[in-house]
Amino acid sequence: MSHTSSLPAEPALHPDTLFDGVDLRRLAERIPTPFHAYSASAIRARIDGLQQALQGLDATLCYAVKANSNLAILQLMAKAGVGADIVSSGELWRALHAGIPAQRIVFSGVGKTAAEIAEALAAGIQRFNVESADELELLQQMAAELHVTAHAAVRINPDVDAQTHAKISTGKAENKFGVSIDEARRWFDQAARHPNVRLDGLHVHIGSQILSVEPFRLAFARVAAFWRELEDAGHAIASIDVGGGLGVRYRDGQVPIAPADYAAAIREALGAFKGRLLLEPGRYLVAEAGVLLTRVIRVKQGDRRRFLVLDAAMNDLLRPSLYEAWHDIVPLLDGPRPHCRYDVVGPVCETGDTFAVERELPELRSGDLVLIRTTGAYGASMASTYNSRPLAAEVLLERGRHAIVRRRQSLEDMVAGEQPASHWESA
């Protein structure tokens, strides 16, 4: 049975070989695969593009740290004047450590603990995006104990369908995020009950990888109507945070929203707002700036399928396993080869450790270098050591040069903190 077809052959040198001026094939001779590589220039271009589109608005970018939390990436954000959207004290620590001022940090998430709230209050972050009545009570209590005033926004759940993957949609009434406008209205009406919380902000984030501007328009319109209603009722609103969610191109045919169109949707709903606008882009700033470099371990011919076994796995890039997400897979080869179809898999002992099914690629052999595209967001940050595979290295590229910004985890690093059960105690 032959899997070879007469499809067009690959060009001799794929343009993807050069990334931010760095020859990835030469890089992969120096750094063992798998590793993540990020283009600093591409990230900066995204920041600049978004900032330009927002010109004239009092808008601050607060990068969603969860998308890629490497300290070098956060340092790049800090230098560009970008703040942070955090969801844990770990992310708070990273953001501060990277030099992002506390005054540019906003804290989102449904499960903030008392300890995390205390840390964020002590650091003096800009504001808490509060997601439940219980959290509001806790914030009041903690701020009173510390004799400070917490600045807070209520996260509105606008009940809008973001038209994205169900696992990354957050703005529907059945999702765990935010509160209804009815509940938020009560919070403002009863603000006197929380003297240590200055509730003067609105926040909305409806989901991620959004490719149509319509859901944004709907959500922003609902928030804008609520802001006007609150102002009419005498509640001053100092900031409106429009969240993140801008999608990127993972495959041909996907058309991301142009920054100008996104900014137009913000202007249309909130152009008259006199306070500060906050944005929490994650994926948009970093996804397309990242690639995962991996080599073919072997080709395995099964009875029904031909498997391409890579040295990267679901522990290095979870998105295909978790969301059946498409990532382009591009072999970096010397010359043309006939094409065939592969199931592209990793070495992890799970059938779900699959990057692609029946993907058409040039014929590959053991040792060939393969690039997986658009992995700068939710790649390394979602990695694990499953199957005791150490975390992959991360490399920052810029105009022909590279710097290792995370060394490959050693086996000792991997087990650090584990110990034999030699000290038994009774609670």
Residues recognised as catalytic: 349
Interaction residues for ligand LLP, span 302-341 (CB under 6 A): 319, 323
With binding defined as CB under 6 A, does residue 215 bind ligand LLP? no
Interaction residues for ligand LLP, span 365-384 (CB under 6 A): 377-378
Stretch that binds ligand LLP, among 21-29, 90-98, 240-248, 358-366 (CB under 6 A): 240-248
Total chain residues near ligand LLP (CB under 6 A): 21
In the bound state with ligand LLP, the residue whose beta carbon lies nearer, of 171 and 331, is: 171
Interaction residues for ligand LLP, span 152-171 (CB under 6 A): 168
With binding defined as CB under 6 A, does residue 213 bind ligand LLP? no
With binding defined as CB under 6 A, does residue 346 bind ligand LLP? no
Tokens of 153: 């926004």
Using only the alpha carbons of the chain, give its radius of gyration: 23
* Candidate list 187, 262, 284, 342; residue touching ligand LLP; CB under 6 A: 284
In the bound state with ligand LLP, the residue whose beta carbon lies nearer, of 90 and 335, is: 90
With binding defined as CB under 6 A, does residue 290 bind ligand LLP? no
With binding defined as CB under 6 A, does residue 246 bind ligand LLP? yes
With binding defined as CB under 6 A, does residue 85 bind ligand LLP? yes
CB atoms within 10 A of CB 334: 11
Alpha-carbon span 220 to 269, nearest angstrom: 6
Q: How far is the CB of 22 from ligand LLP (least distance, A)?
A: 25
In the bound state with ligand LLP, the residue whose beta carbon lies nearer, of 136 and 333, is: 136
* Candidate list 22, 37, 53, 67; residue touching ligand LLP; CB under 6 A: 67
User: What's the angle, vertex CA 354, arms to CA 348 and CA 360, rounded to 5?
Assistant: 135
Alpha-carbon span 230 to 222, nearest angstrom: 12
Q: How far is the CB of 212 from ligand LLP (least distance, A)?
A: 14
In the bound state with ligand LLP, the residue whose beta carbon lies nearer, of 64 and 78, is: 64
* Candidate list 46, 94, 205, 327; residue touching ligand LLP; CB under 6 A: 205
With binding defined as CB under 6 A, does residue 394 bind ligand LLP? no
Q: How far is the CB of 309 from ligand LLP (least distance, A)?
A: 23
With binding defined as CB under 6 A, does residue 280 bind ligand LLP? yes
* Candidate list 209, 239, 321, 375; residue touching ligand LLP; CB under 6 A: 209
On whether the CB atoms of residues 199 and 154 are closer than 8 A, the answer is yes
Nearest to 193 by CA among 140, 129, 132, 133: 140
Whether the bond into 331 is cis, omega within 30 of 0:
no
Contacts of 386 (CB under 8 A, 6+ apart): 313, 314, 315, 348
In the bound state with ligand LLP, the residue whose beta carbon lies nearer, of 28 and 240, is: 240
382 class by beta-carbon count within 10 Å (0-12 exposed, 13-18 middle, 19+ buried):
middle
Q: What does the chain come to in residues?
A: 427
With binding defined as CB under 6 A, does residue 245 bind ligand LLP? yes
* Interacting residues with ligand LLP (CB under 6 A): 64, 67, 85, 108, 168, 205, 208-209, 243-246, 280-284, 319, 323, 377-378
